[in-house]
Amino acid sequence: MKNLLADYIFSDSLRYEGHKLIYTPQSGERIVLGGILGAVLLCVRLLNTEEQKERGFVLDEALEYDSFITRYDQEVISDDWGYIDAELEQLDLAYLDLFSNEQMTIETICPNKRQLSIAMDIVSTYMRRVSIELYKAHIYELVPWQMPFAQWLFNAAYAEPRRQRFLQMDWTDPALVHDLASYMDSDTPDEPLVYFEAEEAADLLARYWDWLWDFAQKDAAIFPDANVRMAEYKESILHHETDWDFIKPEMKDFPQEQINLFRQWMNQWTAFVKEQIAPPVTPRKKDIRQELFADNITPIPQPNDYSAVREYIHDRCIYDAEFKKYKKSHYLTDFCQQLTFIFDWPVEYNSLYKSLKRRLKHPKKDHLPK
């Protein structure tokens, strides 16, 4: 089987050579397209030909181009491509070469609109993948957890601007790609951001807490008086995790809007920590008015089966408008209390919160009314 990116001559004016697609017009300077753009234009133009069979590649959107991308990465290692800095440089150079001539368009090289659409879809898919390799899909993967939370939030705020630039980029827009390449070559510092691409604040707080609590438990477990140590840890966590005065002098480069947002983060985090360390005493049932009641449609889950509780909530929200309205308009703690009334066993906030973050594997819909 041939290499995916083996040299190929289309015509006197167009050839692929040395991992670059070269177009030589009758007049004017030649156009050179390297990197992923040159490679995909080569391959889409070979679709449904004997050459495609010899190279053994498939461009199937359902497969997310995994096989193609893997082979591309393997074959351009010798060029020192296949990572975001190199691919950004190659894509920018290709766009500049391609559009430097006002009479030249990408359709000149790839006039088939369907092939061109596939090519640009692969370019976008690939560039996003190599971006995520470096800048990660989640901010806590790029910036590892660090105690206290205020310090992690501060560090993440400086990492997020560049991450957002790459994860939000339209890789099919030559002007935006050039702006990004120019930005990478400049020394202009980024203004910190404390809102994070594709992340929910509540999820970040819960994940940090899980990491922090797991660390405390493991650290305490090495001592024979683990229970005593955990009590001390709780007091220490409550003090250090809710105090962020130490970081305020370091926030001189933060815009006022981001300082205000940082304060909101810490207020929410403080309330969250206090609830975990010293959860409020649940009032007696007779002091709380029951507003939701069991029905004869959806079965009551067994005690502590929070997967079943998640399905119960999902199913009942489909047909019970009042139930759904109450869930949306009340805090989760209030909703837990109403579920406690319905189930006649205590529904815990933390367990329900974590369960609701997971997707239903087998939603039960057959028994629900239309």
Report how far residue 159's alpha carbon sits from residue 61's, in angstroms, rounded to the nearest whole number: 32
- The 10s digit of each residue's pLDDT in 78-94 is 999 999 999 999 999 99
Report how far residue 322's alpha carbon sits from residue 68's, in angstroms, rounded to the nearest whole number: 51
Q: What is the mean pLDDT of the chain?
A: 90
Report how far residue 25's alpha carbon sits from residue 243's, in angstroms, rounded to the nearest whole number: 66
Amino acid occupying residue 31: I
Given pLDDT bands bounded at 50, 70 and 90, which one contains residue 280?
Answer: low
At 142, list the tokens: 């790029």
Other Cβ atoms within 10 Å of 195 Cβ, number: 12
Question: How is the beta sheet containing 8-9 ordered, strand by strand?
Answer: 8-9, 14-17, 20-23, 31-33
Listed residue (271, 284, 294, 274) closest to 346, CA to CA = 284
- The 10s digit of each residue's pLDDT in 120-177 is 999 999 999 999 999 999 999 999 999 999 999 999 999 999 999 999 999 999 999 9
Listed residue (157, 144, 145, 153) closest to 244, CA to CA = 153
Listed residue (296, 278, 301, 291) closest to 341, CA to CA = 291
- The 10s digit of each residue's pLDDT in 219-236 is 988 988 888 888 888 888
The model carries a pTM of 0.71
Q: Is the dihedral of CA 126, 128, 132, 137 positive or negative?
A: negative
Given pLDDT bands bounded at 50, 70 and 90, which one contains residue 370?
Answer: very low
Contact between 82 and 76 (Cβ < 8 Å): yes
| Angular region, 101: left φ>0, alpha ψ -120 to 50, beta rest | beta
Report how far residue 298's alpha carbon sits from residue 315's, in angstroms, rounded to the nearest whole number: 7
- The 10s digit of each residue's pLDDT in 286-345 is 467 899 999 989 999 999 999 999 999 999 999 999 999 999 999 898 899 999 999 999
pLDDT at 284 over 90: no
Contact between 196 and 139 (Cβ < 8 Å): yes
